[in-house]
Amino acid sequence: MSLTSTAHQLATLASGGGEGGGNHESLNPYVVGAGAFLALMLLLWITTRFNRDR
């Protein structure tokens, strides 16, 4: 695999010209974003519970 062919494949992938769109029909971006936000808030809460000495 040469550098030129690799660059071409990456450019095709980035432009969305590859097979499939990459998005599944059942994935709702708002639900995924809310789930990620809740997971991060849970991790933040757990971290602050372990750091009570400050």
pLDDT band at residue 38 under the 50/70/90 scheme: very high
Q: CA 43, CA 46: separation in Å to the nearest integer?
A: 5
pLDDT band at residue 26 under the 50/70/90 scheme: confident
DSSP secondary structure letters along 16-52: T-SSS-S--TT--HHHHHHHHHHHHHHHHHHHHHH-T
Q: CA 54, CA 45: separation in Å to the nearest integer?
A: 15
